[in-house]
């Protein structure tokens, strides 16, 4: 450390000023490159991600509400009760449930959460319905699908 102090003392005042200014410029450039620039990049990424994540949270909340609603539906005890329960079975949020004929129901949705769909199918199975045909197509948002399902009684 003593050698560094002696080297500094040997420098002329204009040379010390130039070295001090150069050191300050290097310190500012390092701060900008190593601290400020990464923080700005993260802020920009979060500006894009946060609204998308809010939409996903709202979808998950809708799905959780649907799960709670489905859990309180009674389970049918026999096939006859299941037939009448199938007619009263409500479609999950965002889906349409229409009778195809006296033995089949058709569930279709352009955008439904996989978890809500699986929970609804489990409730439908408890009412004596089973999946006869299913066509699912993954959507760009994680956990969401387009569904076209035919359920049969018995």
The radius of gyration computed from the CA coordinates of the chain, to the nearest angstrom, equals 32
Containing 144, the helix (H) or strand (E) segment is strand 144-153
Q: Given a cut of 80, is residue 29 above it in pLDDT?
A: yes
Mean pLDDT calculated for residue range 102-115: 90
Q: Round the average pLDDT of the chain to a whole number and report it.
A: 85
pTM value is 0.45
Taking the mean position of all CA atoms in its chain, how far away is CA 144? 9
Q: Given a cut of 90, is residue 93 above it in pLDDT?
A: no
Tell me the pLDDT band of 4, cut-offs 50, 70 and 90: confident
Separation CA 89–CA 4 (nearest Å): 84
CB neighbour burial string for 129-148, b if at least 16 within 10 angstroms, e if fewer: beeeeeeeeeeeeeebbebe
């Amino acid at each position: 450390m003593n050698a560094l102090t002696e080297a500094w003392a040997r420098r002329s005042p204009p040379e010390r000023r130039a070295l001090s200014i150069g050191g300050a410029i290097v310190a500012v450039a390092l701060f900008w490159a190593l601290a400020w620039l990464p923080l700005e990049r993260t802020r920009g990424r979060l500006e894009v991600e946060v609204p998308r994540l809010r939409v996903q949270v709202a979808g998950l909340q809708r799905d959780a509400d649907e799960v709670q609603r489905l859990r309180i539906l009674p389970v049918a005890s026999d096939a006859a009760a299941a037939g009448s329960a199938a007619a009263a079975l409500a479609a999950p949020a965002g889906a349409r449930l229409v009778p195809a004929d006296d033995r089949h129901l058709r569930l279709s949705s352009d955008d439904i959460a996989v978890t809500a769909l699986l929970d609804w199918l489990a409730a439908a199975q408890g009412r004596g319905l089973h999946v006869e045909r299913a066509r699912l197509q993954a959507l760009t948002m994680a956990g969401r699908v387009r569904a076209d399902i035919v359920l049969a009684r018995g």
